């Protein structure tokens, strides 16, 4: 049969994915006989689409899972999606707006109907896309954070933590996103440098005609919420004013002048206006001085009636108008340009408004302790380890976690308010009613109870993921099912460093709080996929390639390897389509190597004696590479492992081994060599499989017909064996000779087709005798002589052996002489350095013997080499 000259991925990929799927090869079930190997997927946003970050992330997971599966472990990769409250709700709101429907015109139920409809339509697209990549997830286990039982788990945890006193409700300054109209956690605020202005505003002193104070602020629109002016107590410029009152411009409200250490005398004018409702630090000062709070900004960022002026204006419009008004009133001393960092919402990019509001919090101080210890003690290992520092500083300075969000899409907080203003927390409304009536001796009806409007932060459900995907019921029953007992703790987690705190740390917290055990052993943190210019890939920049289009062009195997070629753990991946091209070329190389072997005609009468060395050599080399690869894997150096395989396949297998055993054109091969070659081929396919699952499975079945149970993805991973180091060394030496011969051919313009005679002058001819067939074939030699040096020939030296090729008139004597002289000079220089070292008494005294011995050997080799070179030079004649 004839196979295509080029590998065509599209013909094989869907076929094999279906084959694996239909034969349930991704499926994992509890099997006490087998060691589990578990990865939980970082659940992507349910309505998201695959981007390059997912590709990298999931390729790594698939490599790990496939290798573990081949190693005979019960590999279980659990897929699923996350409801992503803010992002999804924003998408649904946007979709409704396009239809002309405003969210606020809908009831909660109606809105959620739309949201679910949207989820049913677009949810899970991303998981389908992962299949094109070859992801070997156990799809039967697919979970969604808002599945019924998954939601129950979230509610149970909330109720439990509340009962333990770790969840509380309180008025706090939170980060308010006026566009999303919700609070967001500290971690969801991104500070950006913004060019703004510093406004110098004059406040008159009450009961004084002449005196005034000037404050500097970036937010003039908040002066109506001022409750004090603050100076540093040591600031003599203002000490006489402390205790007096200042008057807010435009609205003429008098506020006290107070003193607090917080104020920096150097900054601005040394006077600070205190606006507790709209600045975190002012709020703290306000608490210290028992100042009132005046909140003048609505949830949507407009001014309210408490502002007295500009009611209903947006905060940024109001800022400009206030500045104008102050100028007209003569109370704006000056404005100057100012650069400051301003918090933005991660999700909507709106400028965050510090806002006081009633929110739910999780007290973090106690609950984080075991999680900190686990990572510090390397019970959980971070790769790369540099993230340990970051992790520690975060965990040591962690603040209470604001877990409520003013959204509808998500898990509604199970707190129920009674007409008397009290509330109870319970799993269901019915339970709440019972508790309420018992507690307060009341006779409330179900209809009297009103559930909290807010939902929980998305991370409050995804932090349960390593447990809930196996046993969502665990959180209410406290009983572990078989799955949970067997698969937990999981092995490796592969995710982005950006969510180390959002997600990873919190899973560890929950793991210890509820299981008393780590959720995973290793955390592999990938880098960020960037474009060639080093920019993050983003939709708005349009610099992200479409992953599915890439797969279509280069094949999934090509894309997978391309992404892994240059992405060590924790390093950003500067993505270049060239990489993927390299991956595709690699697949093609493998494909063609197979075409070669497939095309061989086998003849039992041919002797394979001459291939003996080559076979022994490759076998050793294979195990050497395998040893290296295992070492890389054990350190999570995935791209290094791939590179080792790449070189084994391309250089050692294709360029050396196959060339060594390849029969001459239209000549048959002996059965033994053929058989061994197929075994080697299978051996490299196994190593390649985790990285390139499709082409390897295809060729595996091309080699011979196999039963389902014999599929490559289920075949045993090879075990590294002892290898013959000396043989590898010797082959290396022989390869050097071959390279030198080729080099001379190139430099002298001798065609590779022209046969040559090689003369070797050596004290140890055994190596070359063993490899004689190899030397002859790869050097295209018709004879090899072992004898003294040859005159009128081009010579070269490998180690301390001399080689000569008689190439007649093509020798340029002058050039040869020059080359020899240059070589002699170089070697003499080298010898000088070695001698200097050995003559140094301190060196001989202090250096370990092994080092001294190698120096002595270098000395002897160099001497021998110089002698040989000089003799050659002499033989060249004058």
Q: Shortest approach of RNA to residue 697 CB, angstroms?
A: 18
CA distances, 579 to each of 61, 550, 562, 582 (Å): 20, 11, 5, 5
Per DSSP, which regions of 41-127 are E strands? Answer: 74-78, 80-81
Cα atoms in the 13 Å half-sphere on the side-chain side of 699:
32
Q: Shortest approach of RNA to residue 572 CB, angstroms?
A: 6
- In 3D space, the residue among 689, 655, 561, 593 whose CA is nearest the CA of residue 5 turns out to be 593
DSSP string over 711-738: -GGGSPPP------HHHHHHHHHHHHHH
- Shorter beta-carbon distance to RNA: residue 441 or 665: 665
- Shorter beta-carbon distance to RNA: residue 343 or 690: 343
Say if CB 807 and CB 646 are below 8 A apart.
Answer: no
Instruction: Specify the residue for token string 């985790």.
Output: 690
Q: Shortest approach of RNA to residue 359 CB, angstroms?
A: 16
- Shorter beta-carbon distance to RNA: residue 464 or 573: 573
Helices (H) and strands (E) in the chain, counts: 30, 29
Enumerate the β-bridge partners of residue 466. none
- Shorter beta-carbon distance to RNA: residue 94 or 764: 764
Give the Cα separation of 560 and 357 in Å (integer): 47
- Shorter beta-carbon distance to RNA: residue 788 or 812: 812
Q: Shortest approach of RNA to residue 637 CB, angstroms?
A: 8
- In 3D space, the residue among 201, 205, 208 whose CA is nearest the CA of residue 223 turns out to be 201
Instruction: Specify the residue for token string 């007409």.
Output: 419
Q: Shortest approach of RNA to residue 34 CB, angstroms?
A: 33
- The H-assigned helical ranges of 757-812 are 766-770, 772-779
Give the Cα separation of 126 and 139 in Å (integer): 13
- In 3D space, the residue among 90, 99, 92, 81 whose CA is nearest the CA of residue 141 turns out to be 81
DSSP string over 47-59: T----HHHHHHHH
Q: Shortest approach of RNA to residue 460 CB, angstroms?
A: 18
Cα atoms in the 13 Å half-sphere on the side-chain side of 138:
20
- Shorter beta-carbon distance to RNA: residue 475 or 501: 501
Q: Shortest approach of RNA to residue 394 CB, angstroms?
A: 6
Q: Shortest approach of RNA to residue 499 CB, angstroms?
A: 11
Q: Shortest approach of RNA to residue 575 CB, angstroms?
A: 10
- Shorter beta-carbon distance to RNA: residue 238 or 470: 238
Q: Shortest approach of RNA to residue 514 CB, angstroms?
A: 26
DSSP string over 197-215: EEEEEEEEETT-SS-EEEE
CA–CA–CA angle 234, 235, 236 (5° rounding):
105
Q: Shortest approach of RNA to residue 275 CB, angstroms?
A: 8
- Shorter beta-carbon distance to RNA: residue 301 or 414: 301
- Shorter beta-carbon distance to RNA: residue 91 or 278: 278
Residue 165's Cβ-count burial label (10 Å; 0-12, 13-18, 19+) is: exposed
- Shorter beta-carbon distance to RNA: residue 95 or 807: 807
What are the structure tokens assigned to 276, written together?
């507790």
- Shorter beta-carbon distance to RNA: residue 420 or 746: 746
């Amino acid at each position: 049969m004839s196979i295509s000259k080029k590998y065509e991925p599209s013909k094989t990929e869907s076929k094999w994915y279906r084959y694996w799927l239909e034969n349930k090869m991704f499926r994992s079930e509890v099997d006490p006989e087998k060691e589990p190997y578990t990865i939980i997927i970082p659940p992507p946003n349910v309505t998201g689409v695959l981007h390059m970050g997912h590709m990298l992330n999931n390729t790594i997971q698939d490599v790990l899972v496939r290798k573990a599966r081949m190693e005979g472990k019960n590999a279980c990769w659990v897929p699923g999606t996350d409801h992503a409250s803010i992002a999804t709700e924003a998408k649904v709101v946007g979709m409704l707006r396009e239809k002309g429907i405003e969210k606020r015109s809908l009831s909660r139920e109606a809105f959620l109907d739309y949201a679910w409809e949207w989820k049913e339509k677009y949810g899970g697209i991303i998981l389908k896309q992962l299949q094109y990549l070859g992801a070997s997830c156990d799809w039967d286990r697919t979970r969604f954070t808002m599945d019924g039982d998954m939601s129950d788990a979230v509610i149970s945890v909330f109720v439990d933590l509340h009962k333990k006193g770790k969840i509380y409700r309180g008025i706090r300054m939170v980060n308010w996103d006026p566009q999303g109209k919700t609070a967001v956690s500290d971690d969801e605020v991104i500070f950006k440098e913004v060019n703004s202005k510093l406004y110098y505003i004059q406040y008159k002193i009450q009961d004084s005609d002449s005196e005034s104070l000037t404050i500097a602020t970036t937010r003039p629109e908040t002066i109506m919420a001022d409750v004090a002016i603050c100076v540093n107590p040591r600031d003599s410029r203002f000490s006489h004013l402390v205790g007096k009152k200042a008057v807010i411009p435009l609205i003429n409200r008098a506020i006290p002048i107070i003193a607090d250490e917080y104020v920096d005398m150097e900054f601005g004018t040394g006077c600070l206006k205190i606006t507790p409702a709209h600045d975190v630090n002012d709020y703290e000062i306000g608490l210290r001085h028992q100042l009132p709070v005046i909140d003048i900004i609505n949830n949507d960022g407009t001014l309210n009636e408490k502002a007295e002026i500009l009611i209903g204006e947006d905060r940024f419009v109001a800022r400009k108008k206030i500045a104008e008004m102050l100028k007209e009133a003569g109370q704006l001393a000056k404005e100057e340009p100012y650069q400051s960092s301003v918090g933005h919402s991660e999700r909507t990019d709106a400028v965050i408004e510090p806002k006081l509001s009633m929110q739910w919090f999780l007290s973090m101080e106690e609950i984080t302790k075991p999680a900190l210890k686990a990572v510090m003690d390397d019970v959980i290992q971070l790769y790369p380890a540099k993230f340990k520092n970051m992790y520690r500083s975060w965990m040591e300075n962690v603040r209470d976690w604001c877990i409520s969000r003013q959204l509808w899409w998500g898990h509604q907080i199970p707190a129920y308010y009674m007409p008397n203003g009290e509330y109870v927390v319970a799993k269901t409304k019915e339970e709440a009613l019972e508790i309420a009536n018992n507690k307060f001796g009341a006779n409330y009806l179900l209809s009297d109870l009103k559930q909290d409007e807010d939902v929980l932060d998305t991370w409050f459900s995804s932090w349960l993921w390593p447990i809930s995907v196996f046993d969502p019921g665990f959180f209410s029953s406290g009983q572990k099912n078989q799955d949970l007992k067997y698969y937990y703790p999981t092995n490796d987690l592969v995710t982005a460093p950006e969510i180390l705190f959002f997600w990873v740390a919190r899973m560890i917290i929950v793991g210890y709080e509820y299981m008393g055990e780590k959720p995973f052993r290793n955390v592999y943190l990938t880098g960020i996929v960037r474009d060639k210019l080093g920019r993050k890939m983003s939709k708005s920049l349009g610099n992200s390639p479409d992953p599915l289009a890439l797969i279509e062009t280069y094949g999934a195997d090509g894309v997978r390897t391309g992404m892994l070629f240059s992405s060590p753990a924790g390093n950003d991946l500067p993505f270049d389509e060239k990489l993927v091209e390299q991956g595709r070329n690699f697949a093609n190389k493998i494909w063609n190597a197979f075409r070669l072997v497939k095309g061989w005609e086998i003849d039992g009468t041919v002797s394979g004696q001459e291939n003996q060395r080559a076979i022994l050599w490759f076998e050793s080399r294979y195990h050497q590479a395998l040893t290296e690869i295992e070492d890389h894997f054990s350190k999570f150096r995935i791209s290094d492992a791939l590179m080792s395989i790449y070189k084994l396949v391309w250089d050692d297998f294709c360029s050396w081994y196959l060339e060594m055993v390849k029969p001459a054109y239209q000549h048959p091969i002996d059965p033994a060599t053929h058989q061994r070659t197929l075994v080697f081929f299978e051996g490299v396919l196994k190593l390649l499989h985790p990285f390139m699952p499709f082409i390897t499975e295809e060729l595996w079945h091309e080699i011979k017909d196999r039963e389902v149970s014999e599929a490559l993805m289920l075949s045993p991973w090879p075990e590294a064996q002892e290898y013959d180091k000396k043989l590898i060394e010797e082959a290396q030496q022989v390869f050097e000779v071959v390279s030198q011969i080729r080099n001379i051919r190139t430099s002298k313009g001798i065609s590779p087709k022209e046969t040559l005679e090689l003369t070797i002058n050596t004290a140890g001819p055994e190596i070359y005798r063993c490899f004689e067939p190899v030397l002859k074939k790869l050097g295209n030699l018709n004879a090899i002589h072992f004898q003294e040096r040859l005159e009128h020939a081009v010579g070269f030296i490998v180690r301390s052996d001399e080689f000569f090729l008689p190439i007649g008139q093509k020798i340029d004597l002058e050039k040869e002489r020059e080359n020899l002289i240059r070589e002699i000079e170089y070697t003499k220089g080298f010898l000088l350095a070695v001698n200097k070292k050995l003559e140094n008494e301190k060196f001989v005294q202090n250096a370990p013997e092994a080092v001294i011995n190698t120096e002595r050997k270098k000395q002897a080799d160099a001497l021998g080499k110089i002698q040989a070179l000089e003799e050659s030079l002499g033989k060249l004649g004058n």
